[in-house]
Structure 1
Amino acid sequence: MSDDVETTTVSISTDDDTTDEVTIPSGLIDLVAEGDQTDAETIGDVALLSFASRAHHLVHHGQGADEDLEAQEARIMDLFEERFGVTYGEATGHQH
């Protein structure tokens, strides 16, 4: 049955010229899209949210973060706010 679900494959490329692909059920992309977002914009939003969430967890709920990790978390939070127009805490209701 799961083979009957339509999927979307997205290519990812980085500054160091490496690439990867990820395949996601198309219905999930549609489910989390806001307004008339493209698939790429929606997946970009989810990727940024995921990295911000993971960084937050490592720094605030992990087993000790060093200065470098704290700087990485601060930077992803700045990028999050630039993209979404609200802080991570405002978006998630999870603030420290």
Structure 2
Amino acid sequence: MTDVNTVTVSIEADDSTDEVTIPAGLLDLVAEGDQTTAETIGDVALLSFASRAHHVVHHGEGSDEELEAQEERVMELFEERFGVTFGEATGHQH
């Protein structure tokens, strides 16, 4: 197997920390322009949360008002960060 360089990133939250190790080439692949590693991982994290929330609310087995509010808010945050809606970015609109 080919030796693949990795990058380990620390994640800090209010009461905990974690680390994630990612192949460096994948970071280069998804980075936009001269984005930093942290910015790239931030983009991927927000995209992942938005995608997951969308799936649960619109394609999952039922949701409630609270979950729908969470999905609506992450979509607002998505649009603030990326300048386009989730539907525009992914081509998945309904």
Q: What's the Cα RMSD here?
A: 0.8
**Which residue of structure 2 lines up, in the alignment, with residue 18 of structure 1?**
16
Which amino acid is 1:24 matched to?
I
State the number of aligned residues: 94
Deviation of residue 33 (structure 1)?
A: 0.5
**Which residue of structure 1 lines up, in the alignment, with residue 56 of structure 2?**
58
Runs ≥4 residues deviating over 4 A: none
- Unaligned ranges ≥5, structure 1: none
Residue of structure 1 aligned with 2:85, choices 69, 84, 87: 87
Which amino acid is 1:62 matched to?
G
Structure 2 length as normaliser, TM-score? 0.97
Percent identity of the aligned residues?
A: 82
Which amino acid is 1:65 matched to?
S
Deviation of residue 17 (structure 1)?
A: 2.5
**Which residue of structure 2 lines up, in the alignment, with residue 42 of structure 1?**
40
Structure 1 length as normaliser, TM-score? 0.95
